[in-house]
Structure 1
Amino acid sequence: MSKKLKRLLIKFTLLTSLYNAALGIWSGTIYLFMRHIQYTYADINVFLSVFWIVTFFSELPSGILADKFGRINVFILSCLTRSIGLLFLFFDTGDGWSLIISAILTALGDSLYSGTLDSWFIDKAKFIDKNYQINNVFSLTTSISTAVSLISGFIGAQFLANINLGYPILAGAILLLCPIPFAWSEKGLEQRSQLRIEDFKQSLSAEIINLKSIKAIIRNNKSFFLYSLSFLPITLIVTGPYNQWQLFFQQGLKTVQTGWILIGVNFLGVLGAYIAGYLLKMKRQIMLLTLLSFINAGTIIFASSVGVRILAIMLFWVHVLFTSSDEVVRYTILHKQVNGAKRTTLISINNTLNAAATLIALGINGWLSDAYSIGLAWTITAIAGLLLTIAGYLTISYVTKKSL
């Protein structure tokens, strides 16, 4: 690897690690904080729903912004927007409006971030060396950034939260500002259009309204969209556990203990991302994806019904391990399906579809949780998600003529 590529990889890893540290520090306590300031489970579901609705409508424009005006500019905007959103939540007094504003701003920040740094790195690496292979890049950077997130998450949940449940939120808002100085040095190195409101309106309308352009993108990336659609049902398996695990395992406990669980979550997330690098070497990738889906669904079904807290936590950790591997494998496979120069836009389209699927999964999971229990909601959605996912993989196998 050349010195330029090494420097680029270090910068990419630094930016993703700082960003993930800012997210990780409150990831184990944010919903506990909402409960602490007297929000109900229904209110929390409203927050999540608003978050994913805004994400759904902002993903595609975010990708267009990144393609037109520079990925680093959009990344910096993501840091600022998400930081302000967390500050609204930190100063929330339970009136509901701050919760909604926080959901909107954090969703915008999330959409602005999605795929931005990844596409910036890949395109710049390909410019330096057109033969550069990306197979293990996401595995490596995910492992490192998740390790950093592990440390920040434990500090936030086990120490800051037991002092004040709001401190992890405040710390996250501050940490989100840390990547900006490092990203700022890359601003002048990107080719981009002059950022004017007239240009934005014209480019946005041209990209969204021009159906011929969209049809051309779909026609040139049929394989990409086939895989993207087949991956959507996985949201039914992972959405409930991902959003509710701290509420599920904190039930009946007086002090915040999610920090210890979060250690396992982040450590196994690192391990899962690392393992993904080896899994990607397997030739029968459809079979690999199918096996990972069975494991992810099965562990959640047993974790939600076993009735023994320690065993349930261990099963949940196994779920996290293979979910992390599955995510890296799917993301890498998806990037390999891209044809043409609109990589960020395509990834944003994929993320838009995922946001819509997650919104549906949240609605189903929220209704089942309120009507029955969190555990039963996890079981039902895991079974449904597994069946739909297998159907999607069979479709890929049939259309692409690849054997399972």
Structure 2
Amino acid sequence: MNYRFILFVCLSSVALGAFSIIDTLFYLQKGLGFQQIAFLATLLNVVVMVAEVPTGFISDKFGVFKALLIGTLLRSAAAIFYIMDFYGNFIIATILAAVGIAFLSGSLNAAAIRLKGDMSTETALSSLSFYKSVALIIGGLVGFVLFRQVIDYPWIFASVCFVLACVSIIPLVIGLKNNDKNQHNTDHFAQPDEQKLSPKNLPILIKNQATRPIFWACVWISVGAVTPMLVWQKLFDGFAFGLVLGFVSLQVAVMAASYVVKRQNIALRYKYIAMLANGLILLCIPLVTGNVLILTAVMFLHVFFHVLSSIFIFSLFHEQVEDGIRNTAESLTSLFDSLLLIPIYLITGYLLDAGRLNDAFYLSAGVALLVFLLYFLANKSPVGLAD
């Protein structure tokens, strides 16, 4: 995998780590409640939903590395708007971040697959996840220290890292300008009209993807992580050094999952077990919030099995999708994911503000079990639900 791309992934992940360790606490210290935080998350997903298909289409037509550059610049600008002190700054920051996420969502995996060489798809995606986790830990530790000094500092640091990430990828944007599009699109005019990637063919693409169980597994996989994502900082911050312990252990879980996939050829039955285990562990988390060591262990297992599940699902998705529509197809998964996250965030925020932690985790566990069922169906009927 190209070293400049790895550097880009590491720098942008350091930026993400710098504020992902403290973002919920940052909002709470700014006077927001969980429902208001959920509203911002909902707004982010609405904008992502609107932007996903256009940005995925742009990426497929004009190149994944250009999309990575644009998306990262937008995230850098968003980080600055989060700390500005004027009415509506959170909304502007959220919109900028959402459009940036939309540009990055399909492009990052597509770029990794473009540069994977002789690696398998699972190995390429797990390597990407490993690099991101190492950088997230570094960024998180820096962000934690900066947050204890001034709560705005992690966002400034993140913005600078995003800019440096953009600088690192510019040689790829320039050097691969003639080979930066998906393979089928380089011979675009030689394709039959119905196979060309164009706005008028998007309804056909949506219909074809929506009949595939693996498409819906990709859509639902992140929905199952909403509750732990919203509450982990609050749960760990009540213990001495709990925030650092929680953040580092969760990133180590991501690294461990990535390492296992890179080193082992995992049989299908064990993939099923990992997905079922994730759902069962989510049911246990609210029962162990009083002990930091047990909480750390259980959250570690949740993240470990969740990341394994995500790698298995997206690897199968990329193996089943045509190369010429790869970015747009993954953007479609993010579009529907964003649509589903709107009610999920609002419901989860309401449950958490009402003190109904158990019910919030039951919701996530149910989604995790649904993901297992969809992945099972995808292996039984890879082409479509109608088959």
TM-score for both structures, normalised by structure 1: 0.82
1:326 aligns with 2:316: no
Contact 1:85 1:105 in 2 (8 A): yes
Structure number with higher relative contact order (C-alpha < 8 Å, ≥ 6 residues apart): 2
Task: Tell me the equivalent position of 1:77.
Answer: 70
Deviations along 1:166-203, one digit per CA (max 9) or x if unpaired, are 2111111111101122211122322379xxxxxxxxxx
Contact 2:224 2:368 in 1 (8 A): yes
Contact 2:10 2:132 in 1 (8 A): yes
- 1:364 deviates by 2.2
Task: Tell me the equivalent position of 2:96.
Answer: 105
1:57 aligns with 2:41: no
Contact 1:56 1:356 in 2 (8 A): yes
Contact 1:162 1:256 in 2 (8 A): no
Hey, what's the Cα distance between the residues in 2 that align with 1:132 and 1:321? Answer: 22
Contact 1:297 1:386 in 2 (8 A): yes
Name the aligned partner's letter for residue 204 of structure 2: K
Question: Equivalent residues in 2 for 1:44-193 (5 A)?
Answer: 44-92=37-85, 95=87, 97-123=88-114, 133-157=120-144, 159-188=145-174, 189-191=176-178
Name the aligned partner's letter for residue 372 of structure 1: G
Report percent identity of matched pairs. 18
Task: Tell me the equivalent position of 2:5.
Answer: 12
Hey, what's the Cα distance between the residues in 2 that align with 1:123 and 1:207? Answer: 18
> Quick one: structure 1 residues 392 and 256, their matched pair in 2 at CA, closer, same or farther if it must change by over 3 Å?
same
1:359 aligns with 2:342: yes
Task: Tell me the equivalent position of 2:275.
Answer: 293
Task: Tell me the equivalent position of 1:276.
Answer: 261
Name the aligned partner's letter for residue 161 of structure 2: L
Name the aligned partner's letter for residue 339 of structure 2: A
- 1:132 deviates by 5.7
Task: Tell me the equivalent position of 1:376.
Answer: 358
Give unmatched runs, 5+ long, in structure 2: 182-195
Q: Alignment partner of 1:165: what SS?
A: coil
Alignment partner of 1:303 out of 278, 285, 293: 285
- 1:213 deviates by 5.0
Contact 1:274 1:325 in 2 (8 A): no
> Quick one: structure 1 residues 258 and 179, their matched pair in 2 at CA, closer, same or farther if it must change by over 3 Å?
same
Question: Equivalent residues in 2 for 1:211-290 (5 A)?
Answer: 212-215=201-204, 218-219=207-208, 225-251=212-238, 257-278=242-263, 281-284=265-268, 287-290=269-272
Give unmatched runs, 5+ long, in structure 1: 1-7, 194-205
Name the aligned partner's letter for residue 266 of structure 2: M
Contact 1:235 1:385 in 2 (8 A): no
- 1:216 deviates by 5.3
Contact 1:12 1:117 in 2 (8 A): no
> Quick one: structure 1 residues 367 and 73, their matched pair in 2 at CA, closer, same or farther if it must change by over 3 Å?
same
> Quick one: structure 1 residues 275 and 41, their matched pair in 2 at CA, closer, same or farther if it must change by over 3 Å?
same
Task: Tell me the equivalent position of 1:317.
Answer: 300
